[in-house]
């Protein structure tokens, strides 16, 4: 298993918008959890974005306009793992992008990326009546921005292979490159109009974020910043020695051949 758990970019300022988005998404999901299956289905059908609504091609259902559901759908999720994965990525990457853009512009940037992601999915499946929910598209925009501003920043990745457990520093351009590559390959093999992951939304959001960040970032923020720490170093899992006390093995970063 390979799981991003952090990065080496320091906090420059308190990311109030990023944390607020996470809090709203979690609160909405907790509220969804209190609903009965039928109530949750109605909630998703009402406030999820249905591509056919915007194109005037889906069946007639009494729900808010597509303009409203484009935004409400960004704060809804289809399950705990969907929420957890999205919030983890937003937690890791969003704070630095908010610092680079400023809080107000970051909020606008985030919402525009979400809209771009929705439009990409709508173009791919204009007649679909499957509701779209999730922050994935907007968060993909954040990932695209991170790729442009901090491609050499090291992402702390949890590597777990059977009994081997370690945390490695892997450059962002590799981590995010594999991620967007996986989205592109997956988009070829699935029907965008069927229920499942909206890969085209992820791709559209990522591209939008990679382009728009240059128009939203602060003037003194450089693109393609260098790394803060050494790439491909790793932190070994601490091992407690029972005899003679409990002294952990040195947990500092090590190179792959150290």
CATH number where 184 lies: 1.20.1540.10
Q: Is residue 258 part of a domain?
A: no
Q: What is the pLDDT of residues 158-173, one digit of tens each?
A: 988 888 888 999 999 9
Residues 48 and 76 sit within 8 Å (Cβ to Cβ)? yes
Residue 179 lies in a domain: yes
In tens, the pLDDT along 209-239 reads 999 999 999 999 999 988 888 887 776 554 3
Inside any domain, residue 248:
no
**Distance (Å, whole) CA 196 – CA 54:** 20
Q: How many domains, in total, are found in the chain? A: 1
User: For tokens 């952090």, what's the residue?
Assistant: 6
Span 14-66, pLDDT tens digits: 999 999 999 999 999 999 989 999 999 999 989 999 887 766 655 546 778 88
Contact 140, 93 (CB under 8 A): no
* Structural domain that includes position 157: 2-236
Say if 242 falls within a structural domain: no
Tell me, yes or no, whether 37 lies in a domain. yes
- 134 phi-psi bin (left φ>0, alpha ψ -120 to 50, beta other): left
Prediction pTM value: 0.86
- Please indicate, yes or no, if residue 42 is contained in any of the structural domains: yes
The CB density around residue 4, as the number of other CB atoms within 10 Å, is 19
250 lies in some domain: no
| Domain presence at residue 243 | no
């Amino acid at each position: 298993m390979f799981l991003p758990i952090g990065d080496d970019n320091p906090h420059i300022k308190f990311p109030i918008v990023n944390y607020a988005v996470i809090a709203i998404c979690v609160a909405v999901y907790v509220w969804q959890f209190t609903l009965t299956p039928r109530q949750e289905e109605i909630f998703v059908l009402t406030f999820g974005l249905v591509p056919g609504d915007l194109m005037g091609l889906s069946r007639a259902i009494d729900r808010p306009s597509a303009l409203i559901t484009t935004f409400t759908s960004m704060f809804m999720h289809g399950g705990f793992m969907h929420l957890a994965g999205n919030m983890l990525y937003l937690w890791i990457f969003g704070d630095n992008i908010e610092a680079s853009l400023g809080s107000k512009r970051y909020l606008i940037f985030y919402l525009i990326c979400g809209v771009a992601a929705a439009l990409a999915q709508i173009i791919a499946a204009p007649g679909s009546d499957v509701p779209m929910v999730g922050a994935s598209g907007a968060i993909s925009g954040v990932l695209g921005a991170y790729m442009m501003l901090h491609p050499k920043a090291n992402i702390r990745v949890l590597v777990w292979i059977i009994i081997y457990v370690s945390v490695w520093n892997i450059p962002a351009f590799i981590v995010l490159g594999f991620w967007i590559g996986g989205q592109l390959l997956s988009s070829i093999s699935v029907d965008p109009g069927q229920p499942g992951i909206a890969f085209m939304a992820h791709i559209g959001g990522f591209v939008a974020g990679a382009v728009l960040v240059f128009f939203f970032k602060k003037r003194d923020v450089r693109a393609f910043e260098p790394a803060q720490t050494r790439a491909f170093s790793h932190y070994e899992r601490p091992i407690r020695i029972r005899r003679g006390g409990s002294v952990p093995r040195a947990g500092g970063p090590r190179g792959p051949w150290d």
